[in-house]
Structure 1
Amino acid sequence: MKHIDFHLDFISPYAYLAFEQLPRALEGLSYEVAYRPILFAALLKHHGQLGPAEIPGKREWTYRQVLWQAQAAGLPMQMPSAHPFNPLGLLRLATACGPNRYVCETLFRHAWRGGEDAADPARLQALQQQLAPRRDPASQEVKDELKAATGQAIAQGVFGVPTFAVDGKLFWGVDSLPMLRAYLEGHEWFGAPWDEAAKAPAAVSRVRAG
């Protein structure tokens, strides 16, 4: 049985789509999943990047694309009333509960179904009462655990969400699900071709503005 670490942030519509489609995408295979809430904004800061919703043009495209993908997959999905939103309340609640599939499903659907404010304090309080976490989401212990999980993900090479980590290999994005399935099925491409694909030298490099 293969072990998959699913790195996610509830702010990401692509992570929601990947979460909902994962069981069907890997149907019939032997695997287990550990859900790893991390702070996407910290990944962006580490790599000096803006998020898709922070770039005019890309923002609009992202929202159109994810809603198209959802309807194509037959998944309910509505944009929250404001996006991006602050996901820390959801991430800390997931961490405090112990992020199993039920917890993550509840939080993803809170954000991406119904079109309401995902960070509304009253809604977050209702979620906390529903999930009854064994630890206080506002505790320093939970905050430190989320920060550490994000740092560990960065150290492992994670640069975006959703990312699936298995056997030291990283599969990024909802569109990587077929690739992940092929790896779990033992496809021969994940030997030498996988390694060779990353060896192309860079012919030009842009200097990041300070």
Structure 2
Amino acid sequence: MSEIIYVYSAHSAYAYLGSAELMRIAAAHNAKIIHRPILLSPVVEHQGSQPFADRTQAHVDYFFGREIERWAEYRNVPIINHRPTYHDADYSLASGMILTLGESGPAVDDLVHRLLEAHWRDDIDLSDRDALADVATAAGHDARALLIKAGSSAVQSRLKANNDWAVSQSVFGSPTYIVDGDPFYGQDHLGLVERALQTPFAPSTWRNPPVG
């Protein structure tokens, strides 16, 4: 069985926009999705990219505006018409819920989509325990037990390990999909992910000179 290593943050707009399509691709090609939730800002900043707080207003307006609207329409994905109210809230507990369910399987696939959808369609606060409990209950889980495990030091340590692993793999954004070691950044590359599951791309021979 082929595997798609799925690296993303639980509050990522573009992970949400590509979520249903990723599930479709995996099912169509009998591929297992391996979930690697991360906390995005530490990973992005470690790679030297600018945090959104330091980017130009024009860039932020484009990223959190027209581009999201177009992809939502293209993929027929319901979405709010503004940056989520609590987008800057801590989402480590939501990430821990994902990790508690494991790295693969229908239950984790379903919960991940529900969390992304709840943030980008319903504008929920991913740090709000009651809101997270509602998502977990709707997915058929024992919300109290899931949240206790999600916040444990053992699970949060795994989240930190995912961050460290993502940095070691040169991940610089969410979502990133890795097929047989070949990374694809952005949900707009899901067509290439699907092609890679059928016919792997030739190994890269591209070489760039050092920057600076």
Assess same fold via TM > 0.5: yes
The TM-score, its normalising length taken from structure 2, stands at: 0.82
> Structure 2 CA distance, aligned partners of 1:87 and 1:69?
24
Match of 1:101 in 2: 109
> Structure 1 CA distance, aligned partners of 2:28 and 2:95?
30
Cα separation, partners in 2 of 1:24 and 1:136, compared to 1, 3 Å: closer
Contact 1:6 1:165 in 2 (8 A): yes
Q: Secondary structure at 2:64's aligned position in 1?
A: helix
Do structure 1's residue 178 and structure 2's residue 191 form an aligned pair?
yes
Contact 2:15 2:174 in 1 (8 A): yes
Match of 1:161 in 2: 174
The TM-score, its normalising length taken from structure 1, stands at: 0.83
Contact 2:47 2:167 in 1 (8 A): no
Q: Which moved more, 1:89-98 or 1:44-53?
A: 44-53
State the identity %. Answer: 25
> Structure 1 CA distance, aligned partners of 2:99 and 2:120?
19
> Structure 1 CA distance, aligned partners of 2:122 and 2:173?
25
Q: Secondary structure at 1:71's aligned position in 2?
A: helix
> Structure 1 CA distance, aligned partners of 2:131 and 2:53?
23
In the TM superposition, residue 27 of structure 1 has moved relative to its aligned partner by 6.2
Contact 1:162 1:173 in 2 (8 A): yes
> Structure 1 CA distance, aligned partners of 2:53 and 2:13?
11
Cα separation, partners in 2 of 1:128 and 1:177, compared to 1, 3 Å: closer
Match of 1:208 in 2: none
* Structure number, greater radius of gyration: 1
Match of 1:90 in 2: 94
Contact 2:26 2:32 in 1 (8 A): no
> Structure 2 CA distance, aligned partners of 1:6 and 1:83?
21
Cα separation, partners in 2 of 1:180 and 1:50, compared to 1, 3 Å: same
> Structure 2 CA distance, aligned partners of 1:25 and 1:91?
23
Structure 1 residue runs of 5 or longer lacking an equivalent are: 206-210
In the TM superposition, residue 129 of structure 1 has moved relative to its aligned partner by 5.2
> Structure 2 CA distance, aligned partners of 1:135 and 1:117?
18
Q: Which letter does structure 2 place at the counterpart of 1:155?
A: S
Map 1:124-163 → 2, pairs under 5 A: 124-128=132-136, 131-132=141-142, 133=146, 136-163=149-176
Contact 1:80 1:118 in 2 (8 A): no
Contact 2:10 2:94 in 1 (8 A): yes
Do structure 1's residue 199 and structure 2's residue 207 form an aligned pair?
yes
Contact 1:77 1:112 in 2 (8 A): yes
Match of 1:62 in 2: 63
1:72 to 71, 74, 84: 74
What is the count of residue pairs matched by the alignment? 199
Cα separation, partners in 2 of 1:128 and 1:30, compared to 1, 3 Å: closer
Match of 1:35 in 2: 35
Do structure 1's residue 117 and structure 2's residue 117 form an aligned pair?
no
> Structure 2 CA distance, aligned partners of 1:51 and 1:39?
13
Q: Secondary structure at 1:177's aligned position in 2?
A: helix
> Structure 2 CA distance, aligned partners of 1:175 and 1:31?
19
